[in-house]
């Protein structure tokens, strides 16, 4: 495990957003969804792609609150620009399980 300083950790902007739209992303190399996520007035609506297809259907993820890093530079995936990194952890088979607050919180809430 690599240690980081508290100052390094403070640079990572992790926020809560609500999924507004989700759709399959067949152009990606691995099974992926495109998401549109509202992070509230300070950050706004951002797009991302996420490998969530093992546990989630697009229709069930809409309206769900998720946790994401919002200050990475955009990354091009196929013909899509991914603006944030939705956070999750792998299950026993390596499929992504989303990290999410266990209660409804204000959009844009910053992890601290």
Residue 85 has pLDDT above 90, yes or no: yes
**Confidence class of residue 79 from pLDDT cuts 50, 70 and 90?**
confident
CATH level 2 (architecture), domain 6-98: Beta Barrel (2.40)
Check pLDDT > 90 for residue 88.
Answer: yes
Higher pLDDT among residues 44 and 112, named by residue: 44
pLDDT, residue 8, reads 93
With contact defined as beta carbons under 8 Å apart, do 87 and 37 qualify? no
**What pLDDT sits at residue 31?**
86
Domain boundaries, the chain: 6-98
Q: What is the mean pLDDT of the segment spanning 17-28?
A: 94
Those residues with Cβ within 8 angstroms of residue 72's Cβ, 6 or more apart along the chain or in another chain: 84, 85
């Amino acid at each position: 495990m690599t240690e980081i300083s508290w100052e390094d950790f403070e640079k990572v902007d992790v926020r809560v957003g609500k999924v507004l739209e989700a759709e399959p992303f067949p152009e990606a190399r691995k099974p992926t969804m495109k998401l549109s996520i509202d992070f509230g007035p300070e950050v706004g609506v951002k797009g991302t792609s996420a490998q969530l297809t093992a546990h989630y259907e697009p229709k069930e993820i809409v309206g769900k609150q998720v946790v994401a890093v919002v200050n990475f530079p955009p990354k091009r995936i196929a013909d899509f620009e991914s603006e944030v990194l939705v956070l999750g952890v792998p299950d026993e088979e390596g499929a992504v399980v989303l990290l999410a607050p266990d209660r409804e919180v204000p959009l844009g809430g910053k992890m601290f």
